[in-house]
Amino acid sequence: MTKELVFSGVQPTGNLHLGNYLGAIVNFVKLQNTHHCIYCVVDLHAITVWQDPAELMRNIREVTAAFIASGIDPKKHIVFNQSQVAEHAELAWVFNCVARLGWLNRMTQFKEKAGKDRENASVGLYAYPNLMAADILVYRATHVPVGEDQKQHLELSRDIAQKFNNDFADSIKAHGFAEKFFPQPEPLITGPATRVMSLRDGAKKMSKSDPSDYSRINLSDDADAIAQKVRKAKTDPEPLPSEEEGLKSRPEADNLVGIFAALSGKSKQDVLKEFGGGQFSGFKAALVDLSVHKLGPIGAEMKKLSQDSAYVDSILVDGANRARAIAAETMNAVKDIVGFIRKA
Ligand code: TRP
């Protein structure tokens, strides 16, 4: 174990799928061997757009179940939902006063999510990256596994950390804290095959909001559903190429080979060594076996956990208690640094 601390968050907005699994969760699982890890179900982020309350609750439990079913150990590491640790929101307010409007105006995700009707977007959606910075920095986490789409937000976190350290340099020193009170959190961008595409259209990302359930493998799918979806996945009429080069301009073939590679821990080139020159039927049969073998148990465990919400909730409460202990220490220091009065 290093002194490095990993933090990441997943939004409980429904339908976790193979893309979330290979793009994020697999990496979360691996990092447990080398780092202390804090994995957060970011419910405060979720409500930046409307969430039906009953569904939100179900989704918080589902993400938690997916973490556990995938092999995240909530005893050795920390798993909790964000709203149980008030320090996230507290530090986010301080960061609202550190970050500049001009910085937030550059965030491309806000522009995409707010769309044309920007006047009608929630203030929370706009300030969302400041909350994300607070999530990370309230633990003074050093490493953040994120996808490409979150890189800009992570840069903003670094800017906020630096501006806080600069603005309050004298006070930080006067209180005897290290000069770099907040670290500069580093992104951990995941390896290849992180982009999983729709099983119906290799040009589109696998998405929870695609109207066709056949476009994705949900983590909660059972073995039969997984097998069905892989069998029905779109392909093209050519046999598989023997070299990776040959996957170019064949998005469906590329996607399925990528999924096989990621699930088996091999490179695409190795997968093609085995299946290149063959018809899709043989490859697909192997992919069905592999997917059912790897993902079937996750779906089964999630189903079991969905019937025991008291157990799932107890994990979140326990994780939140341990997270709060760390977060409170940072927040007390921040209050001293900023010049607030608090109970000693
Ligand atoms: N914004 C991230 C997403 O939508 C989720 C998130 C919230 C997060 N807080 C975080 C990710 C802190 C990493 C670190 O995917």
Are residues 230 and 88 located together in one domain of the fold? Answer: no
CATH, residue 240 = 1.10.240.10
Q: How many other CB atoms are there within 10 angstroms of residue 54's CB atom?
A: 8
Residue 39: count of CB within 10 angstroms of its CB: 26
* Nearest alpha carbon to residue 199 among 239, 255, 282, 246: 255
On whether residue 97 sits in a domain, the answer given is: yes
Are 223 and 96 in a shared domain? no
Is residue 335 annotated as a catalytic residue, yes or no? no
d(CA 192, CA 196): 10
- Is position 24 within any domain? yes
Same domain for 170 and 61, yes or no, is: yes
- Please say whether the beta carbons of 290 and 261 come within 8 A: no
> d(Cα 287, Cα 218) in Å, to the nearest integer?
16
Is 205 domain-assigned?
Answer: no
Residue 143 within a domain: yes
120 plus 155 within the same structural domain: yes
**Residue 55 maps to a domain:** yes
Residues 17 and 115 in one domain: yes
Res 153: pLDDT:
97
Name the phi and psi angles at 218, rounded to 5: -75, 145
Q: What is the DSSP letter of 17?
A: B
Alpha carbon distances (Å) from 232 to 155, 225, 238, 275, 311? 40, 11, 16, 19, 36
| Any atom of ligand 1 within 6 Å of the Cβ of 9 | yes
**Model pLDDT, residue 324:** 98
Burial grade of 206 (CB within 10 A; 0-12, 13-18, 19 or more): buried
Task: Write down the pLDDT at residue 15.
Answer: 86
Domain count, the chain: 2
Q: How far is the CA of 68 from the centre of ligand 1 (A)?
A: 19
pLDDT of residue 1: 46
> Which atom of ligand 1 lies closest to the CA of 153?
1
DSSP letter string over 162-200?
HHHHHHTHHHHHHTT--S--S--PEEEE--TT--PBPSS
Instruction: Say yes or no: 18 and 35 in one domain.
Output: yes
Round to whole Å and give the CA distance between 93 and 77: 27
CA nearest neighbour of 192 among 331, 23, 7, 12: 23
In this structure, the answer to whether residues 75 and 165 fall within a common structural domain is yes
CB 2 within 8 A of CB 35: yes
Answer yes or no: do 170 and 261 share one domain: no
Q: How far does residue 16's CA lie from ligand 1's centre (Å)?
A: 15
- For residue 193, the model assigns a pLDDT of 44
Digit-by-digit pLDDT tens for the chain (344 residues) are 457 999 999 999 988 999 999 999 999 999 999 999 999 999 999 999 999 999 999 999 999 999 999 999 999 999 999 999 999 999 999 999 999 999 999 999 999 999 999 999 999 999 999 999 999 999 999 999 998 889 999 999 999 999 999 999 999 999 999 999 999 999 997 655 468 999 999 999 999 999 999 999 999 999 999 999 999 999 999 999 999 999 999 999 999 999 999 999 999 999 999 999 999 999 999 999 999 999 999 999 999 999 999 999 999 999 999 999 999 999 999 999 999 999 98
Stretch (H or E) spanning 36: strand 36-41
C-alpha to C-alpha distance for 246 and 268, rounded to whole angstroms = 11
Query: CA-CA distance, 19 to 159, in Å (whole number)?
Result: 29
Q: Looking at the domain assignment, is residue 206 inside a domain?
A: no
Q: Are residues 18 and 135 in the same domain?
A: yes
What are the phi and psi torsion angles at 251 (to 5°)? Answer: -60, -35
Structural domain harbouring 296: 213-305
- The label of the residue with tokens 């550059």 reads 106
Ligand 1 binding pocket includes 247 (Cβ within 6 Å): no
Say how far apart CA 266 and CA 244 lie, in whole Å: 13
Active site residue 205: yes
Q: Is the CB of 13 under 6 A from ligand 1?
A: no
- pTM comes to 0.95
User: Do 32 and 44 have their domain in common?
Assistant: yes
